[in-house]
Amino acid sequence: GDSVTQMEGPVTLSEEAFLTINCTYTATGYPSLFWYVQYPGEGLQLLLKATKADDKGSNKGFEATYRKETTSFHLEKGSVQVSDSAVYFCALSDGNNQGGKLIFGQGTELSVKP
């Protein structure tokens, strides 16, 4: 079945450091890929998405490119801030399940120190 694998956390960075959170997926069809962010005590917020191969999603300085050849959707940011401290979830939707079931990775906790 479909699955998403994220790098394990927690990831601890200093402010202004470069961020990469790895995400790889397994899917039988042509999935869409998503990054959601969850700040402490809050719900999930859509950070960015890509719906086809080679698409780049971007938002708030974060970017991720849908790489079909490596089945990856790695999240990057050039310069992190303390306010980026959160849990990041990679997810896919393959459209094969009526109701649009999202398949989530395990989440990666990011802590940014001043």
Bridging pattern class, strands 108-113 and 103-104: unpaired
Least Cβ distance, residue 99 to another protein (angstroms): 4
Least Cβ distance, residue 80 to another protein (angstroms): 20
- Toward another protein, which CB reaches closer, 11 or 104? 104
In 3D space, the residue among 10, 28, 5, 44 whose CA is nearest the CA of residue 97 turns out to be: 28
Bridging pattern class, strands 56-59 and 103-104: unpaired
- Contact residues for another protein, defined by CB under 8 A: 29-32, 34, 36, 42-46, 49, 51, 87, 89, 91, 93-95, 97-102, 104-107, 109
- Toward another protein, which CB reaches closer, 34 or 84? 34
Least Cβ distance, residue 31 to another protein (angstroms): 6
Q: What are the distances in angstroms from CA 4 to CA 50, 80, 107, 114?
A: 15, 24, 10, 31
